[in-house]
Amino acid sequence: MNLPTLSLADFFPLLPAILMVVGACILLLSEVFLSATASRAYQAVLTVVTAVAAGAVAVVMMFEPPREVMLGFGVLDPFSSFLTFVVCVGLGLAALSSVGFLRRRGAERGEFYALMLFASAGMSLLAMSNELITLFVNIEVLSIATYALTAYLRRGTRPSEAGFKYFILGAFSSAVLLYGAALVYGATGTTNLTAMVGPLGAAIQAQPALVYAGVVLVGAGFAFKVAAVPFHMWTPDVYEGAPSPVTALMSAGVKAAAFAAMVRVFFTMGQGIDPRLPLALFSTLAFLTMVVGNLMAIPQRNVKRMLAYSSIAHAGYLLLGVAALFVTAPGEQFRLLGPSELTGGSPLDIARAGALRGILYYLLAYTFSAVGAFAMVSALERREDEEKGTAWDLERFSGLAQRRPGWAFAMAAFMLSLGGIPPTIGFMSKLLIFQSAVDAGLIGLTIVAVLSSAAGVYYYLRVVVYMFMRPVPEGAQVLERNWGTEVALVVSTAAVVVLGIIPGPIGAWLEQAGTLFGR
């Protein structure tokens, strides 16, 4: 039997994930030597340092030429590197906001940050996966760590309930995805995405039922992971019950990685089978997700639950971008051009490339805004109110502008960004996605998107109204400051505002990042 030989250079593309795993192992091992009362402030610092290092490596890798790595089981392309960068941003900000959160609950332990790092390593590898089994294993690496994080707090009934719901539906969706992958493997004889393009075209003639069943099951599995309607039922309960920093990581990192894997898988399938199938699938999901997500968020007085529904709505806008990726002219071969070849492309080529860039920018924008908003939620909540369910009530935000003007300004920036109001990063990213959807000819769907995001502005601005126009309630709790939360808020507010006014710095990256391997 021939064993493959791997040189050290073959492991370079995995460096961000390796850094995160090493960081996690250090955290786990160092915990053994600490007494129960020892200071654990270094743990968050170590996590943030790891995230920054991994993110810096990802930025460097964005300029590497796209290629297969690890014997074709993964690919290194600017797309995956950009996603790794987004994951590192989410991880760093979520780790910063957990410092104060864990201290108030007396639950500071190394495994919390270690699990966050393991989950992020899985996300980074998921964005690189180019083979269905690798993809499945990485989904599980990130999911299993997130299940444990969701049920991390042992006091109270909510965390275990959220963990249970997340676990059952997560495992269920993984099984659906895996069964779909098995059917696709049966039809094509390979699990490698690059090698699948040719056989898929032949298999669709020979065994159309097998291929369609496989593709639809894989699509349904991913729809669960990104919380698209009608596969969204778990999201509000899980987001509400999980510790707030974990919810932040889930809404940003898990979703970004799942979108990356979904785009990569369906990009391959779109070349083999008729691209109108993914177009129909994603248009339907986008329509339902945008409308239902926004409508369900409107009556919520619980801010954390409102943000959960808002995250469903944002998945809808992203799905609109994914649908725009698969628009083809009649008889046209589906393809996606890189930035250097665009000058000779047709208008649809430009629209599709724009949609891919829009998705990436949106994921970054959503990471900054949502993780910031969840950091604020976790700064305001108190454990005593959790069982009563009032820990996240809108009343908590009353008069915040008088008590902590800086916090109120930051939260207002996040809300405007989530609502898509200029001058914020959320506006720029929505503009990119809607513009490329219109260019691709999805006019009706874009009108729905604009109308539903206008409805969304109502519930985002309600939080701002409470912060700036309501008096401070009697007997309001003392607001503790914590360096972690403050740093997280400053960084994400700066990113939301500055990148909304001058999107230039990441414009060049984004041009680059719209490069998928194997076009």
Partner 1 sequence: MAADVAAREAPNRPMVPITYYLLLAAALFCMGMFGVLVRRNALVVFMSVELMLNAANLTFLAFARMRGDAIGHVSAFFVIAVAAAEAAIGLAIVIAVFRSRGSVLVEDIRTMKH
Residues that bind partner 1 (CB under 8 A): 133, 136-137, 140, 144, 147-148, 151, 154, 156-165, 167-168, 171-172, 174-176, 178-179, 181-183, 185-186, 189-191, 236-237, 240-241, 300, 302, 305, 389
Q: Judged by CB, which is closer to partner 1: 67, or 155?
A: 155
Q: How far is the CB of 187 from partner 1 (least distance, A)?
A: 9
Q: How far is the CB of 171 from partner 1 (least distance, A)?
A: 5
CB atoms within 10 A of CB 14: 18
Query: Measured between alpha carbons, how far is 476 from 473 in angstroms, rounded to an integer?
Result: 6
Structural contact between residues 440 and 324, judged by C-beta atoms closer than 8 angstroms? yes
Q: What amino acid is encoded at 505 in this protein?
A: P
Q: Judged by CB, which is closer to partner 1: 153, or 442?
A: 153
Q: Judged by CB, which is closer to partner 1: 199, or 441?
A: 199
Query: Measured between alpha carbons, how far is 509 from 62 in angstroms, rounded to an integer?
Result: 8
Q: Judged by CB, which is closer to partner 1: 183, or 433?
A: 183
Q: How far is the CB of 301 from partner 1 (least distance, A)?
A: 9
Q: How far is the CB of 225 from partner 1 (least distance, A)?
A: 15
How far CA 12 is from CA of 6, 114, 514, in Å, comes to 11, 22, 21
Q: How far is the CB of 49 from partner 1 (least distance, A)?
A: 28
Structural contact between residues 71 and 4, judged by C-beta atoms closer than 8 angstroms? yes
Query: Measured between alpha carbons, how far is 108 from 101 in angstroms, rounded to an integer?
Result: 9
Q: What amino acid is encoded at 84 in this protein?
A: T
Q: What would the DSSP string read from start to end of 305-359? A: HHHHHHHHHHHHHHHHHHHHHT---TTPPP----GGGGGGS-HHHHHHHHHHHHH
> In 3-state terms, what secondary structure has residue 362?
helix
Q: Judged by CB, which is closer to partner 1: 169, or 279?
A: 169
Strand runs labelled E in 246-297: none
Q: Judged by CB, which is closer to partner 1: 182, or 421?
A: 182
Q: Judged by CB, which is closer to partner 1: 248, or 297?
A: 297
Q: Residue 10 corresponds to which tokens in the numbers above? A: 């073959």
Q: Judged by CB, which is closer to partner 1: 96, or 197?
A: 197
Q: Which residues touch 475 (CB under 8 Å, ≥6 apart)?
A: none
Q: How far is the CB of 167 from partner 1 (least distance, A)?
A: 5
Q: What is the dihedral of CA 498, 500, 506, 508, to 10 degrees?
A: -120
Q: How far is the CB of 460 from partner 1 (least distance, A)?
A: 19
Q: Judged by CB, which is closer to partner 1: 261, or 327?
A: 261
Structural contact between residues 110 and 28, judged by C-beta atoms closer than 8 angstroms? yes
Q: How far is the CB of 461 from partner 1 (least distance, A)?
A: 21
Query: On the CB side of 238, how many CA atoms lie within 13 Å of its CA?
Result: 27
Q: Judged by CB, which is closer to partner 1: 143, or 367?
A: 143
Residues 152, 158, 160, 166: is their CA dihedral positive or negative? negative
Q: What is the dihedral of CA 100, 425, 128, 173, to 10 degrees?
A: 70
Q: How far is the CB of 235 from partner 1 (least distance, A)?
A: 12
Q: How far is the CB of 13 from partner 1 (least distance, A)?
A: 21
| Greatest CA separation for the chain | 75
> In 3-state terms, what secondary structure has residue 166?
helix
Q: How far is the CB of 2 from partner 1 (least distance, A)?
A: 12
Of 102, 119, 89, 384, nearest in space to 243 by CA: 102
Q: Judged by CB, which is closer to partner 1: 160, or 482?
A: 160
Q: What amino acid is encoded at 103 in this protein?
A: R
